[in-house]
């Protein structure tokens, strides 16, 4: 047994004591009702995974026009809050902690998913490729989004605040702001998608502004020590990039230092020869600029997670795909057992299969 590993030790964020440093990464699973209300199987799914030190929920939209994919949950209606309460109650009864990932998809959407409205984005730049619309399985080409008016930005920031308040009412222990993977906040941060000439485009300071305003707004409802931020400085997923990731993210992290947040969550994807500044990894390179706790993510094995925690590169590690198919992942790490293999075909397929039917170890 790996009893000497630091990964199984507790860690404190704000008022929460996490029982280990093994986090369940946020993962969209498209099991909500079409109106974004969480279902009972979602409560079962998250409760099964309550042995994680922390669960981060799937991306959850703050408004209908923040929705990217069919059957994803929201946190802007009374019914959605009620549905999420069943999830958080289930996780708490099973001894776990759960943060909600607050999200706006920006241009990564389609009018069919937003009640006919054209998706909005920092600038009118169409992503390459196609996106799932309803019903699941049909992909349609992205369309050119409309540029968000300067005056609309305040409304989006306000909606993040309302979503945070709703998350508190729904019983969440904290929130993670999704500023990664090419969705709205990331579209503001990175310069391939932000060509604005107002106070929200241009300099690092201007491109970071919406995220910093969202942190301030959500901080009216949640203790800042219970707010995390997810960043993916090199990930090109959703057709996004930046001309100087080290410049942008070192600036941003120094700004984030002043908030004393729960953590910064780095997605490691995108380590290519074009990013030599990051030769040793995102967390190691950017961790130098950040004073608070760092969460690593992206194809981590147990061994890598354990040694990076021991070396102090990261404080905790989130696991995605392994948690889909292994509800008792911490126990499997501890006992060094085999893992169930996740079935990719049921990631977003709806229903119980490939969702709540993965087996835990006996006893």
Ligand X SMILES: Cc1cc2nc3c(=O)[nH]c(=O)nc-3n(C[C@H](O)[C@H](O)[C@H](O)COP(=O)(O)O)c2cc1C
- What string of DSSP letters covers 85-141? HHHHHHHHHTT--EEEEEE--TTSS-GGGTTTPPPEESSS-PPSSEEE-SSTT-EEE
Q: Which residues of 274-292 are buried (b: 16+ CB within 10 A; e: fewer)?
A: eeeebeebbbbbbbebbeb
C-alpha 84, offset from chain centre: 17
Q: How far is the CB of 321 from ligand X (least distance, A)?
A: 4
Distance of alpha carbon 210 from alpha carbon 232, whole angstroms: 16
Which residue in the set 297, 308, 355, 358 belongs to the binding site for ligand X (CB under 6 A)? 297
Which residue in the set 24, 153, 180, 215 belongs to the binding site for ligand X (CB under 6 A)? 180
Q: Which residues of 242-256 are buried (b: 16+ CB within 10 A; e: fewer)?
A: beebbebbbbbbebb
For β-strands 146-147 and 120-121, DSSP reports them as parallel
Q: Which of residues 333-362 bind ligand X (CB under 6 A)?
A: 347
Site stretch for ligand X (CB under 6 A), options 40-48, 137-145, 304-312, 319-327: 319-327
**Residues belonging to the active site:** 183
Q: Give the residue with the Cβ less far from ligand X, 12 or 299.
A: 299
Q: How far is the CB of 344 from ligand X (least distance, A)?
A: 8
Q: How far is the CB of 199 from ligand X (least distance, A)?
A: 27
Gap between the terminal Cα atoms of the chain: 16
Site stretch for ligand X (CB under 6 A), options 26-34, 166-174, 245-253, 270-278: 26-34
Which residue in the set 7, 11, 50, 59 belongs to the binding site for ligand X (CB under 6 A)? 59
Q: How far is the CB of 268 from ligand X (least distance, A)?
A: 8
CB 78 within 8 A of CB 122: no
Which residue in the set 228, 270, 298, 330 belongs to the binding site for ligand X (CB under 6 A)? 298
Region for residue 71 given its phi and psi (left: phi exceeds 0; alpha: psi -120 to 50; beta: otherwise): left
Which residue in the set 181, 187, 193, 283 belongs to the binding site for ligand X (CB under 6 A)? 181
Q: How far is the CB of 273 from ligand X (least distance, A)?
A: 21
Q: How far is the CB of 61 from ligand X (least distance, A)?
A: 10
Q: Residues binding ligand X: what is the number (CB under 6 A)?
A: 20
Which residue in the set 5, 20, 28, 80 belongs to the binding site for ligand X (CB under 6 A)? 28
For position 304 contacting ligand X by CB under 6 A, the verdict is no
A 10 A CB-CB count for 124 gives 12
Show the DSSP H helices in 143-296 as ranges.
150-169, 184-189, 204-218, 245-257, 282-287
**Contacts to ligand X by CB under 6 A:** 25-28, 58-59, 101, 178, 180-181, 230, 267, 297-300, 319-321, 347
């Amino acid at each position: 047994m790996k009893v000497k590993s630091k990964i199984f030790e507790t860690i404190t964020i704000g008022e929460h004591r996490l029982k280990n440093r093994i986090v369940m990464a946020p993962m969209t699973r498209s099991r909500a009702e079409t109106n974004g209300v969480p279902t009972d199987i979602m409560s079962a799914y998250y409760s099964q995974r309550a042995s994680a030190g922390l669960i981060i929920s799937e991306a959850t939209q703050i408004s209908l026009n923040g929705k990217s994919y069919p059957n994803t949950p929201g946190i802007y209606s009374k019914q959605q809050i009620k549905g999420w309460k069943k999830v958080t109650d289930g996780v708490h009864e099973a001894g776990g902690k759960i943060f909600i990932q607050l999200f706006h998809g920006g241009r990564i959407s389609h009018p069919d998913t937003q009640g006919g409205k054209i998706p909005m984005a920092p600038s009118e730049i169409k992503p390459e490729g196609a996106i799932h619309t309803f019903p699941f399985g049909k992909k349609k080409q992205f369309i050119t989004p409309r540029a968000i008016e300067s005056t609309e930005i305040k409304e989006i920031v306000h909606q993040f605040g309302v979503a945070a308040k709703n998350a508190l009412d729904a019983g969440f222990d904290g929130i993670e702001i999704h500023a990664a993977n090419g969705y709205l906040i990331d579209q503001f941060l990175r310069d391939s998608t932000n060509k604005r000439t107002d106070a929200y485009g241009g300099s690092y300071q201007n491109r970071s502004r919406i995220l910093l305003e969202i942190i301030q707004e959500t901080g009216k409802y949640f203790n800042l020590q219970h707010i995390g931020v997810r960043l993916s400085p090199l990930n090109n997923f959703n057709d996004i990039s930046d001309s100087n990731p080290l410049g942008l993210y070192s600036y941003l992290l120094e700004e984030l230092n002043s908030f004393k947040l729960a953590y910064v969550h780095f997605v490691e994807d995108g380590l290519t020869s074009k990013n030599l500044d990051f030769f040793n990894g995102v967390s190691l390179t950017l961790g130098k600029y950040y004073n608070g706790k760092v969460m690593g993510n992206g194809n981590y094995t147990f061994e890598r997670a354990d040694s990076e925690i021991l070396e102090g590169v990261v404080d905790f590690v989130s696991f995605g795909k392994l948690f889909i198919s292994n509800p008792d992942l911490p126990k499997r790490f501890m006992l060094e057992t085999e893992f169930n293999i996740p079935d990719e075909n049921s990631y977003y397929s709806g229903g119980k299969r490939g969702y709540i039917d993965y087996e835990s170890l006996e006893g």
